[in-house]
Every structure is written in C-alpha cells, then in structure tokens.
C-alpha cells in the first residue's frame, strides 16, 4: 500500500510537470524532415495527412512528417512542453481560441510574414476571406499564422419537425423574434426540444457580438494589446441572455452542454433547430434520417448595422522555433514556407473544403467549388461562406478575438451560462460575472507577459 | 544468537538498490522537484519570461474561492465514493461468502467492472443517464422527474459519484471477500452456539475482525476518489455544470493543461502532494497500530 500511495502522489506531481519528450527532429541525408503536429482525429486527420503526403510527393527536397497529438488543447500543451525541452515541432496546428496565447508567445513563434519575406516564397493573402485572414493577423495587418481549417456557426433546422408543426419547411427563421415564435409553435405541436445550441460561448456570445457589430472586449476585441477587458455585459448581450434563460424556462430552448456536446442533439432528430458549427454538416448528412436545411445565424432585426459577417472557428498553422534559444536553419524555415505555399493553393483548399465541410479560406477556392457544381449538389453548403462574406470587409468587432488565456475565458462563459440556466442568476448577473472573472484571467496573462 | 548479515563495501548494495532508486528518482523525485520549483515561479506558458514569486502562487490558490469550492467538492465526492463503494462491496461480499449455487460465476462477474477503463466506464454511464439519449435518463424524464445532469449540479455530482463508486466496488469486493474467508469459522460457530443471531454475529464478530481490511480499503478508496477519478469526471461532466463536479485533481488539469497556467497548477499539485504525504504518515504512524488485527 505504501508503494501505491507513493505512486499516486508521484502521479499527482507528474501531472503538472513535463510531458514525455518527443523525438527530436532529425537531419541527415535525404530530404529535410519537417515535424508537423496536428490535432485532427480521424477521418479529418487522415484527409489532412493525405494533403501532407501530396506535398511530399510534389517535390524532392522536403518531407513533412505529420503526427497526431490528440485534441487541439493536448497538441497545444505538447508543443509548449516540447518547446521548453528544446524539441518543438516545426509546425503545430492550433485552434482559434489559442491564437491570443500564440500571438503573445514572442520569439517562440515564427510569424508567416517573416517566413515568406526571408525565404522569398509568395502567398497572396488578399485572396483570403477577410474574417479568416484577419483572425490570424497582427493588429497592423501582418500575417502571423497560416489559416487552414476554418468553419463558422450556422443554423440547421429539421424540415420534418416544421411540417409537423404546420410551418413552412423551406422558410427557416432569420431573426431571434422569428425563432421565438417558431419555437413556440414547435412546442405546441408536441416537440420536446424546439431549439438548442452547440458551442454555447462561441455561438451565443462571440458570434452574437460579431454579427451585431458589438464589441466583445475593449481595444478592438484585444487586437490592440494585452490590456484589453471583456465587455460582454452590454445591453444586447443582456437582452439575448435573458431571452435564452426565459426560453429555457418556457421549454422553447434546451441547453445542450459545453463545447461540441450539443452537436449530437440535431442529427438524432431530438431538436428542431440548432445553432452549431458549419463543420458538422458531414455528420448530419451521414446520420440524419429526416430532411433538413442550413441557414444563417438568427439576429435581432432592430439592432442598427446588423447583420454583419460572423467570425470563424477552426485552426491555423503556427511555425515554432525549436526552443528558447531559437535553433532553426534558414533551410528549415524555407521548407515550412514551401509547405504553406502548397496548402494555400486554391485547388488544394477547394478539395479540402468539398471533402470535409470546412469553408474554403480563399475566394478563388470558393470559385472552383462553385464551378464544379458543388453547391448545386449540396444545397446549403455555401451558407457559411456567404455569412462570412456578409457586409464586405470586417470591422473592429467582426475581425475575431485576440484575448490571452481565452480557453479559460470560454470555459468561464460556459460556466456562468450554466449557472444562469440553472436559475441561480439572471442574464445581467451572468454576464457581469463573466466580465469580472475573465478580466482576472486577462490581467494574470498580462502580468505573465509583462517586460517582454 | 543473532547473526548480522552485512554487505562489505557499498558497491554491491547500491547496485542491487539501483533499479528501485532509479524508478523512485525518475518517476517521483524528479517530477515532484520540478513541480515544487514550478510552484514558486510566475511564467508565461513558453517559459520565456520567468520570475521568482516565492509563495504567491500558493497564497493565490488558497484564497481562490474556486479552489475552495473544488476542495469542498472533493470532500463530498471522496466520502460519498468511498462510503458507497465500500458498503455495497461489503454487502455483496457477505452474500457471496455464503454457500450459494454458482458462487464462482457470481464472484467473477462482480470483479469485471474493475477491468473497465475509467473513460469507458464514464461513457457507459453516459449512455444510461444522458437526458436525451440515455435509457434511464429518458425514463426519468418521462416519469416526470426533471433529470438533466448537464444543468443540475447536484445530479451531476450524483452521477459521477455513482460511476466512480461502481468502478471501485469490484476492488473492494475482492478484499472484503478475502477478509471474510480468513475469519476462522470456529469463532463464528462459538458465537452461534452462544445464541447470537446472524446480524449480531456480523456486527460484533465479523465486522471488528474485518477492521484491518476495512481500514486499508478506506485509505485506498479515498486515494482513488482523490486521484484516479479524473477520467470519469472528464468524460462525464468535464467538471461542470458551472464548477459543480470540479475536484482538486481536475482543477490541477484545468489550470495546467487547458489554461496553461503552470505556476498555479504546480502549486495546487504540491498541495495535493502534501496531503498524500500526510495521509500516508497518519496511516503508518498512528492508525495502523490501533486497528485490531
């Protein structure tokens, strides 16, 4: 028993200390190897690795070695630990919530604009969708990371349920006012779960702020510096949160759990309407035994300026230095730049879009998919792209979110929403609590990065 | 006359001890040392900007209402898991110890859950109790009981307790059964002849004689509830809703892995380490002597 106790305490200690060391990148003869860690499980991971294999075949000098490292957050922590042990991968795929942390990582990362300038490789970022490239740019417009798999939030609705409730199955609600009326009819028709949501914080807080052109945080949603403060306790969000709470009480809306837990509620025919990532399209196609449609996120029609473009989710690629002392050769950076150039090609991007359900990140890839008749065969698949392009260029409030420690802040938002849905607090109190707790995280992050 | 056997020199004994020492150093002393060092630093995740802050991380952890909530959750969770897992296991062991038909099959089946990985166990329970896709969850809602552990903190806690206790019942069962079988039959027969009824025999003879097993299991179960239930909580509730099922070990993970806040996470794990050392010390110094063997 003594041994058991000792082992357990050692485990407790080990939990916070370093993770196992990854194999160091090796040179030697043959093509130059580039380590690439990603966070996509099957089947998406396989499709990503196919693109990598195609790059390796397209030229003889470099070989990118893909490596699945668990979920995004696990890949992120693994990369951080590897960096501290001077064995970081050349490229790591990082989810959009980690962007603020990566931007503040200083010399740990090699920005895309530097990579391209030093290696003479060219990528035309002006062709990228503004909300996609903007999310991964510094405040001054320089590209920091390489956009890749991107999605946004949309509304899916169950046409069979609409028919049952005597509603027009081809006419989804476009505003929250209509959503409420529709949900009431669905409930009256005996449907137990008229509406739900996946990714509560991303959809109901972040996307809502963006499409109504309302700031989520000060300093341009954090693009202006580490001193930003969360500002979600504004009248629009209070109104929306109080609505959700009231609808939940009335049985018009059901909370579906954190992050992607709500995803399952739509394809199995449980809820009639769901706001979720456009990325679950493939899953719905595969699993749903009913007719369904895709539509843009609802908005409040009386808010001036609404609706604007929504923001993205997904991930981008970050080039990393080997460790705190740097340690990469120009040839290695050149290899990374060539890899980026390869994945940026519209044909590659269009293929990825059509096979996976992520949005195309470039206008020219969108054109290719159109030309191939993808949207005629897959009605609704262009909705997320149109929503991202709505209103032209992005504003300060629709460019994205650039807050440090944002993984934690998103969890805080979900926790406070859960407390509100349990009836412990109203919308204003929930949002005030989010602001107060998130600002603590932001100040802590600022303190950690001071004096850089 | 006693003969002392001592090695000559230090080479051979060190060589013989080397594997154990290496394991202890690599898997215990080194990570524990790293955690202690990390706990007095304030760092960005990449380790590029490091500052010695003394005990500030500890002070922040101990005054953090979220940490106190997690400590409270851990207390409720551990006591409930240990209590329910042990009492159910004892009941089953007493029944299995009787001469019943098919006792071996019964015993084997009871041991199975121990082989189920925590995450898998959690998924099994999720399929039972999920409010919209779980069999029992739907039945509860149909019966008019509002069941939604994703929103109701008490229900969430109840669910993780049941799932965690269920997994530990098998382990306790094996030990209780072995304990019961080692109780001399003569003692029980003597009590029976004296006219003690089965219930009285159990509480006055069997239970006291089982006390070493019970105490051993109590410590093991508490440690299990503290440290080995991460997978179950992670897969079932992720610490939610709100922070209703966030235990101390889960908070270490959230702080260190999700939030990459290494200083605070290290401070929390050092606190847990101190706790385990204390429990072990108490167990070896005081209680083990007093438990009747």
Could you state, in order of their start, the residue ranges of all structural domains in chain A? Answer: 30-151+313-372, 153-307+400-448
Query: Structure pTM?
Result: 0.82
Contacts of A122 (CB under 8 A, 6+ apart): A116, A341
SS3 content of chain A, % helix, strand, coil (to 5): 50, 15, 35
Rounded to whole angstroms, what are the CA distances from A202 to A52, A95, A98, A154?
A: 30, 13, 13, 12
Nearest CA in chain A to B246: A415
For residue A210, the distance in angstroms to the closest alpha carbon of chain B comes to 24
Q: With cut-offs at 50, 70 and 90, classify the pLDDT of residue A148.
A: very high
> A119: how many CB neighbours lie within 10 A of its CB?
18
Residues facing A157 on adjacent strands: A273, A293
Comparing A410 with A73, which gets the higher pLDDT? Answer: A410
**Sign of the torsion formed by the C-alpha atoms of A196, A199, A200 and A202:** negative
Would the CA dihedral through B219, B221, B222, B226 be positive or negative? positive
DSSP string, A299-336: B-TTSTT---PPPPEEEEEEEE-SBTTB---HHHHHHH
Q: Among residues 138-157 of chain A, which lie with CB inside 8 Å of chain B?
A: none
Rounded to the nearest 10°, the torsion over CA B22, B28, B34, B38 is 180
Is residue B231 less than 8 Å (CB to CB) from chain A?
Answer: no
Residue A6: the pLDDT is 42
- Residue B238's pLDDT is what? 85
pLDDT in the model for residue A1: 40
Q: Which one of B31, B241, B252 has the shortest CB-CB distance to A422?
A: B241
- Give B-chain residues touching A12 at CB under 8 angstroms: 227, 249, 252, 269, 272-273, 276
Q: Binning pLDDT at 50, 70 and 90, where does residue B212 land?
A: confident
CA distance B115 to B131: 27
Q: CA A266 → CA A175, A259, A261, A273, A281, distances in Å? A: 20, 15, 11, 7, 11
Please compute Rg for chain B using Cα positions: 24
At residue A29, the pLDDT reads 65
Which residues of chain A neighbour B284 with C-beta distances below 8 Å?
A: 2
Give the tens place of pLDDT for each residue, B4-24. Answer: 677 778 888 889 999 999 999
Name the β-bridge partners of A195. A253, A273
A30-151+313-372: in CATH 3.40.190.10: yes
Cα separation, B219 vs B227, in Å, equals 12
Shortest Cα–Cα distance, B151 to chain A (Å): 6
Q: Which helix (H) or strand (E) holds A240?
A: helix A235-250
ipTM of the complex: 0.72
Which A residues 24-63 touch B at CB under 8 Å? Answer: none
- The helix (H) or strand (E) run that includes residue B43 is strand B41-43
Question: Do A1 and B220 make contact, defined as CB atoms within 8 angstroms?
Answer: yes
B208/A417 Cα distance (integer angstroms): 50
User: Over the stretch B105-143, which tens digit does the pLDDT of each residue have?
Assistant: 888 888 888 888 888 888 889 889 988 788 998 899 888
Q: Give pLDDT, residue A435.
A: 97
Question: Do A196 and A265 contact (CB within 8 A), yes or no?
Answer: yes
The answer, for B217 touching chain A at a CB cutoff of 8 Å, is no
β-pair type (A313-320, A91-95):
antiparallel
Provide the mean pLDDT of chain A: 90
What tens digit of pLDDT does each residue of A226-271 get? Answer: 999 999 999 999 999 999 999 999 999 999 988 888 998 999 999 9
The per-residue pLDDT for B116 is 85
The confidence score (pLDDT) of residue A283 equals 87
Is B123 an interface residue toward A (CB < 8 Å)? no
Q: Mean of the pLDDT values across residues A18-32?
A: 53
- Mean local confidence (pLDDT), A139-161: 95
**Which one is predicted more confidently, A22 or A150?**
A150
Cβ atoms within 10 Å of A89's Cβ, excluding its own: 26
Domain limits, chain B: 56-290
More confident residue, B45 or B100: B45
Q: Which of A107, A48, A109 is CA-nearest to residue A76?
A: A109
Q: Cα dist. A92→A79, A145, A203, B107 in Å? A: 7, 10, 26, 50
Please provide the size of chain A in residues: 452
Q: Which fold has domain B56-290?
A: MetI-like fold (1.10.3720)
Whether A449 and B253 lie within 8 Å, measured CB to CB: no
Check: CB of residue B73 under 8 Å from CB of residue B292.
no
Alpha-carbon distance B196 to B191, whole Å?
A: 6
What does the pLDDT read at residue B98?
80
Q: Judge whether A76 and A94 are in contact, CB under 8 Å.
A: yes
Question: Strand A313-320 and strand A146-151: pairing?
Answer: antiparallel
Q: Per mean pLDDT, which range of A366-380, A410-424, B229-243 is the poorest?
A: B229-243
- The per-residue pLDDT for range A341-374, each reduced to its tens digit, is 999 999 999 999 998 889 999 999 999 999 999 9
What's the angle, vertex CA B109, arms to CA B106 and CA B111, rounded to 5? 115
CA gyration radius, chain A: 23
Residue A18 banded pLDDT, cuts 50, 70, 90:
very low
Q: What integer is the mean pLDDT of B220-231?
A: 89
- Check for a shared fold between A30-151+313-372 and A153-307+400-448: yes
CATH number of A153-307+400-448: 3.40.190.10
- Give the closest residue to B131 by CA, choosing from B118, B142, B119: B142
Residue window 22-51, chain B: list those with CB within 8 Å of chain A. Answer: 27-28, 30-32, 34-35, 38, 42-49
Is pLDDT at B26 greater than 50 in this prediction? yes
A contacts of B235 (beta carbons < 8 Å): none
b/e code B267-289 from CB counts within 10 Å (16+ = b): bbbbbbbebbeebbeebeeeeee
């Amino acid at each position: 028993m003594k041994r058991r106790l000792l082992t357990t305490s050692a485990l407790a200690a080990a939990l916070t200390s370093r993770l196992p060391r990854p194999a160091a990148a090796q040179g030697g003869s043959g093509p130059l190897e580039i380590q690439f860690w990603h966070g996509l499980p099957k089947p998406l991971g396989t499709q990503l690795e196919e693109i990598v294999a195609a790059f390796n075949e397209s030229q003889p000098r470099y070989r990118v070695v893909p490596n699945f490292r668990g979920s995004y957050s696990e890949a992120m922590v693994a990369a951080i630990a590897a960096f501290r042990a001077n064995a970081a991968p050349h490229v790591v795929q990082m989810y959009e919530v980690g962007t603020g942390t990566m931007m503040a990582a200083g010399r740990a990362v090699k920005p895309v604009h530097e990579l391209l300038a030093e290696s003479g490789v060219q990528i035309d970022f002006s062709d990228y969708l503004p909300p996609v490239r903007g999310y991964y740019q510094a405040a001054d417009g320089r590209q920091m990371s390489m956009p890749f798999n991107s999605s946004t939030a949309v509304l899916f609705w169950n046409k069979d349920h609409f028919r049952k409730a005597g509603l027009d199955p081809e006419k989804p609600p476009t505003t929250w006012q209509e959503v409420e009326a529709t949900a009431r009819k669905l409930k009256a028709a005996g449907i137990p779960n008229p509406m739900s949501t996946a990714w509560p914080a991303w959809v109901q807080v972040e996307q809502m702020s963006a499409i109504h052109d309302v700031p989520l945080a000060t300093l341009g949603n954090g693009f202006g510096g580490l001193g930003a403060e969360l500002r979600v306790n504004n009248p629009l969000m209070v109104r929306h949160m109080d609505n959700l709470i009231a609808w939940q009480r009335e049985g018009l809306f059901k909370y579906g759990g954190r992050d992607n837990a709500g995803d399952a509620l739509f394809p199995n025919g449980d809820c009639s309407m769901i706001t979720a990532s456009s990325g679950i399209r493939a899953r719905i196609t595969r699993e749903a035994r009913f007719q369904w449609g895709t539509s843009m996120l609802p908005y409040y029609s009386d808010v001036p300026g609404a609706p604007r473009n929504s923001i993205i989710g997904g991930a981008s690629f970050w080039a990393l230095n080997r460790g705190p002392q740097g340690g990469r050769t120009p040839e290695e950076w050149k290899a990374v730049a060539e890899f980026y150039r390869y994945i940026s090609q519209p044909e590659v991007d269009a293929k990825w879009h059509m096979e996976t359900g992520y949005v195309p990140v470039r206008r020219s890839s969108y054109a290719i998919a159109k030309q191939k008749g993808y949207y005629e065969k897959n009605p609704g698949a262009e909705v997320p792209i149109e929503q991202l392009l709505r209103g032209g260029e992005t504003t300060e409030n629709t460019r994205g979110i650039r807050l440090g420690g944002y993984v934690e802040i998103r969890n805080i938002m979900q926790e406070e929403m859960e407390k509100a849905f349990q009836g412990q607090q109203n919308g204003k109190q929930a949002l005030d609590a989010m602001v107060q707790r998130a600002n603590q995280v932001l100040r802590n992050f600022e303190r950690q990065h001071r004096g850089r | 006359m006693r003969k002392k056997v001592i090695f000559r020199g230090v080479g051979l004994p060190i060589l013989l001890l080397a594997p154990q020492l290496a394991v202890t150093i690599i898997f215990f002393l080194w990570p524990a040392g790293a955690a202690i060092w990390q706990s007095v630093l304030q760092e960005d995740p990449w380790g590029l900007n490091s500052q010695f802050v003394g005990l500030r991380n500890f002070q922040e952890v101990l005054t953090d209402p979220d940490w106190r909530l997690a400590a409270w959750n851990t207390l409720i969770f551990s006591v409930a898991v240990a209590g329910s897992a042990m009492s159910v296991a004892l009941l089953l062991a007493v029944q299995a110890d009787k001469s019943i038909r098919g006792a071996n099959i019964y015993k084997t089946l009871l041991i199975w859950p121990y082989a189920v990985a925590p995450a898998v166990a959690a998924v099994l329970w999720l399929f039972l109790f999920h409010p919209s896709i779980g069999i029992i969850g739907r039945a509860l809602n149909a019966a008019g009981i509002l069941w939604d552990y994703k929103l109701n903190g008490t229900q969430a806690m109840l669910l993780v307790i049941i799932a965690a206790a269920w997994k530990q019942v098998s382990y306790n069962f094996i030990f209780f059964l072995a304990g019961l079988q080692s109780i001399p039959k003569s003692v029980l027969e003597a009590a029976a002849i004296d006219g003690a009824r089965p219930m009285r025999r159990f509480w006055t003879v069997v239970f006291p004689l089982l006390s070493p097993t019970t105490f051993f299991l109590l410590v093991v179960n508490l440690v299990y509830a503290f440290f080995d239930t991460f997978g179950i909580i992670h897969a079932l509730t992720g610490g939610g809703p709100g922070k209703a099922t966030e235990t101390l070990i889960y908070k270490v993970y959230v702080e260190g892995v999700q939030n990459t806040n290494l200083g605070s996470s290290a401070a929390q794990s050092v606190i847990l380490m101190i706790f385990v050392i204390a429990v072990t010390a108490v167990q070896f110094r005081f209680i083990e002597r007093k438990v009747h063997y």
